[in-house]
Structure 1
Amino acid sequence: MSLVKDSSYYIQLENTFGASNYEPLPVVLDKGERIYLYDVEGKRYFDFLSAYSAVNQGHCHPKLIQTLIEQSRKLTLTSRAFYNSQLGEYEEYITKLLGYQRILPMNTGVEAAETAVKLCRKWGYKVKGIPENQAKIVFASGNFWGRSIGAISASTDPLSKREFGPFVPGFEIIPFNDLEALKKSLQDKSVAGFMVEPIQGEAGVIVPSEGYLAECKRLCSKANVLLILDEVQTGLGRTGKLLAGDHESVKPDILVLGKALSGGILPVSAVLSSSEIMLTIRPGEHGSTYGGNPLACAVAKSALQVLVEEKMTENSNEMGEIFRKRMNLLKSKYEDIEDVRGKGLLNAIQFKEKNEKSVAKDVCKKLLNLGVLAKTTHDHTIRFAPPLVIRIEEMNEACDIIDQAVKFCLD
């Protein structure tokens, strides 16, 4: 007689044998399809996190799974010691799609961001002429691009940095959405680049003032400084444009992508730029065993193709408008809702702080019970980011559940 393995069994395994660097909601997921996730007991949930915007194309998209299976039967990894039959075609497709000359393929978002920082520094020394070891990269407060030593060196989150020092030198932090601070920073001739998220995801879906990115680009160009847009979370249709920078027609000097680049199938990331910038890095100066592997390249190309062919970006824009309209209607009923914000299908509800109690966490727990998966970002904000394939009837049903959860927690 076989023993039934329920959620508590799997949770206990993770708590016993895993590190304690995450605090997940108490649900054990076993299956995904489009916008839905299923736990080990078979309960269905709306996925309103999308693995932090990595599953834009929906869970287990049939075309991506087909590509994965076909390529995995043929060739998965060669290293970059040799050419492979998938990398070049992927590189051609993505550079032409996004309007860049070159791509440097990596695996995770933080690897791509680290690569962008290295590339920017190299350009600073070889092209701009900054004295050796004096190049600076400017970041905005509230930024998040991972948990590596480089990433936390640029962070303003005390929890990310506590007892992990010493940190990487040559990083400067200025306030987000503050053009005067950027102007002042760019007066330093040692500044090689400014890296910024078009919308700050982990900070709470913070949308800058209209025109901010365009002016950042103008100021950086004037100062001979590279603008790096970190679009790991905002890119590939998430905000209702193919790239979030497109809202202001901003093309950065260096573009960083990840997450949805593989449709949630594999870790795939990329740095895109011009030949002038990209070719400052020569053989032996940067690399990755898995970066550009044939399996990842085949899946990433397919992920981009379905994004375009199935008009997911356009759907993101339309469904985002519906979501914010519904949430603003909810906000009008409850004074404890401080803000509703976002673009496309990257949105957030922020609750007012109340006696150290996190209403946002209570709402997430109720949502879990009612069949919607969402997670707080900081204590008082819930991020809502479903897959871009969500349909209008599904959006309305999910919004009804969110209404119900908020009503339960605030009435």
Structure 2
Amino acid sequence: NHVHHSLSKHMLVDGFDFVIDLDKSSGNRFHDAKSGKNFLDFFSCFASMPLGWNHPDMLEKQSELGRIAINNIANSDLYTREMAWAVDVITNQTMPEHMNNFFMIAGGALAVENTMKVAMDWKMHDRQAKGLVDDKSVCNRQGFCWKTELRESSKISIGHFKEAFHGRSGYTMSTTNTDPNKTSNFIKFNWPRFNNPKINFPLDEEENSRLDRLESSVIHDIREYGENHPDTIAGIIIEPIQGEGGDNHFRPEFMRNLCDVTHEIGAKFIVDEVQTGTGGTGKMWAYEHAGIKPDMLAFGKRMQVCGLMASDSMREYEDNPFQTSSRINSTWGGNLIDMVRSAWQLEVMEKEKLVENAAKRGDELLKGLNELEQKYSFISNVRGKGLLCAFSLDNNSQRNQMREAIYKSGSLVLNSGFESIRLRPSLTLSSDEIGEALNMFDAAAQSLSSTLVE
């Protein structure tokens, strides 16, 4: 009680009611210091804990972590052996073969924002090369002119999708459109927003037919926008699975067609893998399920440090952010302790084959959820890739009741969209823990069922 009371003196404290005991939490269970209970963790700090709590291999690194944490290095300009080692491990284990450029920053929103900035920079150079930029100065300064820059840069945009969540920073807020509380009253750009042809599972013949029509319409809208506003979209960004927007999945063929039409209209294709990346779907990156090659990806959460990776298509023009100082930057350039923790955790992931574990355990979890869907009429749209699974209820009230019942049973899950629950366990999840969780979900569904009037 003291923790919440103390924090609430100066902060909005509207999070969970429990208090995490950092010492007693272990594996896929966290310990609540207030109640003394252990909870099966299907939340994992918004999908940011690949190894769960207090993994033994990480506990062995405590003294080294403490040594590195003493000084907060300005990594953008001051380099260390620890940083060089960490970047080497991260890029060797996670960077796609077709990418070669790497940038780190603190926070997923800023990781995404910098993909947008790199795309914008490329598009402005591209427009200049095509003679589409009016460089005539409207002020007396030599070289850079703010008024000219404002006029010309305002002509470009970032295409995005309905029910997207890309962050709450300056640029990303113009693409985020899930919860109005997160974007209302803040200045936004009127950038092109396209329908999201999400799958309503099960993916049967009727649903495939519906998606054929919907996807075709979306691709047509993008192509038409490109024709009516030529050379203005710098990039199109999408989450391979829209997390906060409802755990919305897309067919691989849509992702492939989207990548193609993005390039067709002269834009760069960006995937936001902040929540979906680093192994959760059973592959290192969720976009790999579609067999595509995006120009850039944003990473974060499970990676521990945030940032972006990009192909050399973003180096088309010599004066680009990967070759020109200060175009994209920050004081700490990520955070050294996060980089090192990331590298250590990636080594554990490789040693314990945790990406493969996510794929196998994900199949088990999805099978169990499908069985619950068959048992309860109010559970529907069961979906998942790897351990990123979700299911829907009939309405918002049922969803909230279900989540509360699961919590009372001893597990923490996440809301998603208006009527869905998403599951975000760590990559170390075991078959026994899946069985335990499914029993909790079953008990919660039985409890909810008893309150519903047929």
Q: Which residue of 2 aligns with 1:52?
A: 46
CA contact (8 A) 1:123 1:280 kept: yes
Q: Distance in 2 between matches of 1:327 and 1:203?
A: 20
Mapped pair 1:318 → 2:339: no
Q: 1:12 offset after TM fit, Å?
A: 3.3
Distance 1:162 1:310, change over 3 A: closer
Equivalences for residues 158-177 of structure 1 within 5 A: 159-160=180-181, 163-167=184-188, 169=189, 171-177=191-197
Distance 1:339 1:72, change over 3 A: same
Q: 1:383 offset after TM fit, Å?
A: 0.9
CA contact (8 A) 1:179 1:216 kept: yes
| C-alpha distance after superposition, 1:117-139 (max 9, x if no partner) | 11110111124546331221101
Mapped pair 1:288 → 2:330: yes
1:258 pairs with one of 300, 321, 335: 300
Mapped pair 1:84 → 2:84: no
Q: 1:369 offset after TM fit, Å?
A: 1.4
Counterpart residue identity of residue 124, structure 1: K
2:170 pairs with one of 138, 141, 149: 149
Counterpart residue identity of residue 386, structure 1: P
Structure whose alpha-carbon radius of gyration is higher: 2
Q: Which residue of 2 aligns with 1:3?
A: none
Counterpart residue identity of residue 19, structure 2: V
Q: Distance in 1 between matches of 2:159 and 2:374?
A: 39
Q: 1:67 offset after TM fit, Å?
A: 4.0
Counterpart residue identity of residue 296, structure 2: I
TM-score normalised by L of structure 2: 0.81
Distance 1:235 1:161, change over 3 A: closer
CA contact (8 A) 2:361 2:387 kept: yes
Q: Distance in 1 between matches of 2:299 and 2:340?
A: 16
Q: Higher mean Cα deviation, 370-379 or 308-317?
A: 370-379
CA contact (8 A) 1:91 1:102 kept: no
Q: Which residue of 2 aligns with 1:398?
A: 437
CA contact (8 A) 1:49 1:384 kept: yes
Q: Distance in 2 between matches of 1:332 and 1:315?
A: 26
1:227 pairs with one of 256, 269, 278: 269
Q: Distance in 2 between matches of 1:94 and 1:288?
A: 20
Q: Distance in 1 between matches of 2:224 and 2:349?
A: 40
Q: 1:162 offset after TM fit, Å?
A: 5.7
CA contact (8 A) 2:160 2:193 kept: yes
Q: Distance in 2 between matches of 1:408 and 1:330?
A: 13
CA contact (8 A) 1:128 1:224 kept: no
Q: Secondary structure at the match of 2:427?
A: coil
| C-alpha distance after superposition, 1:191-247 (max 9, x if no partner) | 110011000000111001231212212222333311110000000111111100110
Q: Secondary structure at the match of 1:218?
A: helix
Equivalences for residues 181-200 of structure 1 within 5 A: 181-187=221-227, 188-200=230-242
Q: Which residue of 1 aligns with 2:383?
A: 341
Q: Distance in 2 between matches of 1:68 and 1:216?
A: 45
Q: Secondary structure at the match of 2:348?
A: helix
Distance 1:183 1:304, change over 3 A: farther
| C-alpha distance after superposition, 1:22-50 (max 9, x if no partner) | x4343222233111111003211100111
Q: Distance in 2 between matches of 1:51 and 1:161?
A: 19
Mapped pair 1:24 → 2:20: no
1:272 pairs with one of 309, 317, 328: 309
Q: Higher mean Cα deviation, 319-328 or 176-185?
A: 176-185
Q: Secondary structure at the match of 1:17?
A: coil
Counterpart residue identity of residue 163, structure 2: G
Q: Distance in 2 between matches of 1:297 and 1:193?
A: 28
Distance 1:367 1:308, change over 3 A: same
Q: Which runs of 5+ in 1 are unaligned?
A: 1-7, 263-267
CA contact (8 A) 1:141 1:156 kept: yes
Q: Secondary structure at the match of 2:4?
A: helix
Q: 1:110 offset after TM fit, Å?
A: 0.6
Distance 1:221 1:396, change over 3 A: same
| C-alpha distance after superposition, 1:136-190 (max 9, x if no partner) | 11011111122223222222236235642322x3622111233333333333321
Q: Secondary structure at the match of 1:382?
A: strand
Q: Distance in 1 between matches of 2:71 and 2:9?
A: 33
Q: 1:260 offset after TM fit, Å?
A: 0.5
Q: Distance in 1 between matches of 2:431 and 2:341?
A: 28
Distance 1:112 1:295, change over 3 A: same
> CA-atom RMSD, angstroms?
2.1
Q: Which residue of 2 aligns with 1:11?
A: 4
Equivalences for residues 130-149 of structure 1 within 5 A: 131=133, 132-133=152-153, 134-149=155-170
CA contact (8 A) 2:178 2:244 kept: no
Q: Higher mean Cα deviation, 10-19 or 231-240?
A: 10-19
Q: Secondary structure at the match of 1:358?
A: helix
Q: 1:314 offset after TM fit, Å?
A: 1.0
Counterpart residue identity of residue 280, structure 1: N
How many residues matched?
A: 393
Q: Distance in 2 between matches of 1:301 and 1:308?
A: 11
Distance 1:224 1:96, change over 3 A: farther
Q: Higher mean Cα deviation, 177-186 or 370-379?
A: 177-186
